[in-house]
C-alpha cells in the first residue's frame, strides 16, 4: 500500500497504521511532508511500520533537507513509475 502524503502534520502519519494494518507500507512524501524524511523521524516511521520511504526531489532540495539514509529521492518521472507500480495508492 503506497501512502501519498503532502502535509507536515504528524496526525496524518498516524493514519498509516490505522489504514494500512498489516500490509506492507510505502510512503511517498511531497511538499512540506518531506520533513518526515529527515533522520529525526526515522524512529517514528519505524514504529508506524513504514517499509519503504520516498521523498520528492524538488521539495527536498527546496528545503535543503538531509534525508535519512533509508529514504529514496524521486524526481517526477520516478514518482509516476512508483504510482503505477501496482500498489494501492492512498492519499492521506
Q: Which residues bind another protein (CB under 8 A)?
A: 4, 6-7, 30-32, 56, 58-59, 75-77, 79-81, 83-84, 89, 91
- Strand runs (DSSP E) across the chain, as ranges? 2-5, 25-29, 50-56, 71-74, 89-91
28 vs 73: CA distance, rounded Å? 10
Write down how long the chain is.
Answer: 92
Residue 34 or 53: the one with the smaller Cβ distance to another protein is: 34
Residue 30 or 42: the one with the smaller Cβ distance to another protein is: 30
Residue 19 or 83: the one with the smaller Cβ distance to another protein is: 83
Amino acid at each position: 500500500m503506497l501512502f501519498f502524503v503532502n502535509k507536515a502534520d504528524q496526525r496524518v502519519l498516524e493514519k498509516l497504521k490505522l489504514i494500512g494494518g498489516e500490509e506492507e507500507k510505502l510512503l511517498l512524501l511531497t511538499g512540506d511532508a518531506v520533513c518526515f524524511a529527515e533522520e529525526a523521524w526515522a524512529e517514528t516511521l519505524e514504529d508506524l511500520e513504514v517499509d519503504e520511504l520516498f521523498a520528492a526531489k524538488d521539495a527536498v532540495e527546496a528545503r535543503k533537507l538531509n534525508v535519512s539514509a533509508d529514504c529514496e529521492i524521486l524526481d517526477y518521472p520516478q514518482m509516476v513509475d512508483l504510482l503505477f507500480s501496482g500498489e494501492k495508492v492512498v492519499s492521506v
